[in-house]
Amino acid sequence: MLKNKWRLVAAAAGAVLIAAGCSAPGDDDGAAEGEPTAATEQADQQTDPEQDAAGPNTDDIPDPVAEVNGTEITKDEFVTVFQGQYQQMTMQAQMTGQPVDEDQLKEQTLEGLVGSELLRQEAVERGLEVSDAEIDTALAGFAEANQASEDEFISAMGEQGMDRDDVVEQIEKQLLVEKLVVEEYGEFSATDQEIEAAYQQLVEQQAMSGGQAGGGLPPLEQVRGEVEEQLVAEQQAQAMQTLSEELREGADVTEHL
């Protein structure tokens, strides 16, 4: 549970951009908080310890991996995001039987990080700021979502190679990008019809995974909030991707990967 929630922080806006291209709508984020989905359980059962231990090959990753308007994206930053995405894609591959395309995932990771940096720079240029109080609130929210204290959450992030300063930096970037998107597009929301359609998709996915229709899923009213959050997150991700593509047209970007 902790590792899944960590992806919200580790990749900051970059992960959101990557997820927009890799994840299907209605993934397990729409399930009730604290309850594993059939997909998660199946992935856990099929995990290959040797494959997990080996992990992706990152020996050939250059440092830096790119420069965006003079700002470097370091190898360490890239590897942290790439490994998190690799773990997620490995679980999906174990269910589908299709191997992870490391080269394609590296490219998606790099494009996501470049897009994230472009958005961060635009937010700073517009004078947007994130206060310490906002960062503290967001950090507390991540810890609560993982049913952990802040110290426990930070400790868990240490297993991902991130100390407290790194986590705070990533949260600040994410909040900056969120403010930028709101300023550019306004607040996002989901209608009752969209929420019901997304929940129905979850029901169908559950049935396709081998369970009975709706089996294991709480009633919609119990998870309506989570489903709505997922839909809003998808809208935000699409907006981030669109804006980052527009910003890239006039940017000085050099990639080394």
Tens digit of pLDDT for each residue in 78-120? 988 888 888 888 887 887 788 888 899 999 999 999 999 999 9
| pTM reported for the whole predicted model | 0.74
Nearest to 162 by CA among 8, 1, 49: 8
pLDDT at 146: 82
Predicted confidence (pLDDT) per residue in 47-62, tens digit: 444 444 467 888 889 9
Whether residue 234 has pLDDT greater than 60: yes
- Domain-wise residue ranges, the chain: 1-19+46-186, 188-247
Nearest to 119 by CA among 18, 14, 19: 14
Which class would CATH give 1-19+46-186?
A: mainly alpha
- Using a 10 angstrom Cβ sphere, with 0-12 exposed, 13-18 middle and 19 or more buried, the burial of residue 235 is middle
The two tokens of residue 222 are 């119990």
* Confidence grade of residue 215 (pLDDT, cut at 50, 70, 90): low
Distance CA 167, CA 12 (A): 10
